[in-house]
């Protein structure tokens, strides 16, 4: 079994105690552009989400894990989505919420752990992601870990009345 613990962070399943973190994250308008969110989430909606978070990735086709520092503080989330066991692939997304936790290698370590878990435990062949062209930090992170740019979706995301390109990346895990 592959470990979900690194040198500085570990990944774990969502817990009921994560409601406040989810509420803060999902209602942060600064991240709505990357999440596709267009309206705030209520605590009740997020509680219902947490109540169902135990469901298996093979059933719901997604997995959300908390990125925690070694003091057990939740600092971000990392997701597998569009899980396709037949074709052995999934999409991946990551967010480290607070600015004071960025540029410390937490995202790199979390993504490395998720790639290992995806390959060894889920036996996936590839992961993919879509990144807005102006998200320099994410472009750097995914490129550094061997994700290759394979295409550009032109004028894909509309923000503040302007369109942005989204870059499509993939990594073969074999």
Write down the pLDDT at residue 14.
Answer: 94
pLDDT at 1 over 60: no
Buried-state track 54-70, b at ≥16 Cβ within 10 A, e below 16: eeebeeeeebbbbbbee
In which band, very low, low, confident or very high, does the pLDDT at 29 lie, cut at 50, 70 and 90? confident
Please compute the mean of the pLDDT values over residues 30-43 and round it to a whole number.
Answer: 86
| Percentage of the chain modeled with pLDDT above 90 | 82
Superfamily of domain 9-124: Gcn5-related N-acetyltransferase (GNAT) (3.40.630.30)
Write down the pLDDT at residue 112.
Answer: 97
In which band, very low, low, confident or very high, does the pLDDT at 37 lie, cut at 50, 70 and 90? confident
Between 52 and 78, name the one with better pLDDT: 78
Q: What is the mean pLDDT of the chain?
A: 93
Strand-pairing partners, residue 85, are none
Please compute the mean of the pLDDT values over residues 145-150 and round it to a whole number.
Answer: 97
pLDDT at 2 over 70: no
pTM exceeds 0.85, yes or no: yes
| Percentage of the chain modeled with pLDDT above 70 | 99
């Amino acid at each position: 079994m592959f470990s979900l613990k690194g040198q500085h962070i570990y990944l774990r399943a969502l817990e009921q105690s994560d409601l406040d973190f989810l509420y803060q994250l999902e209602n942060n308008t600064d991240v709505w552009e990357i999440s596709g969110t267009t309206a705030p989430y209520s605590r009740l909606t997020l509680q219902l989400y947490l109540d169902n978070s135990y469901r298996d990735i093979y059933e719901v086709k997604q997995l959300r894990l908390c990125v925690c520092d070694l003091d057990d503080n939740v600092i971000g989330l990392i997701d597998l989505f569009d899980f396709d066991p037949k074709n052995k692939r999934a999409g991946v997304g990551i967010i480290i919420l607070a600015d004071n936790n960025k540029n410390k290698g937490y995202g790199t370590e979390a993504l490395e752990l998720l790639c290992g878990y995806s390959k060894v435990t889920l036996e996936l062949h590839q992961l993919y992601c879509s990144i807005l062209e102006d998200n320099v930090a994410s472009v750097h992170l995914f490129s550094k870990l061997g994700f290759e740019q394979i295409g550009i979706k032109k004028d894909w995301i509309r923000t503040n009345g302007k369109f942005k390109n989204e870059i499509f990346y993939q990594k073969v895990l074999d």
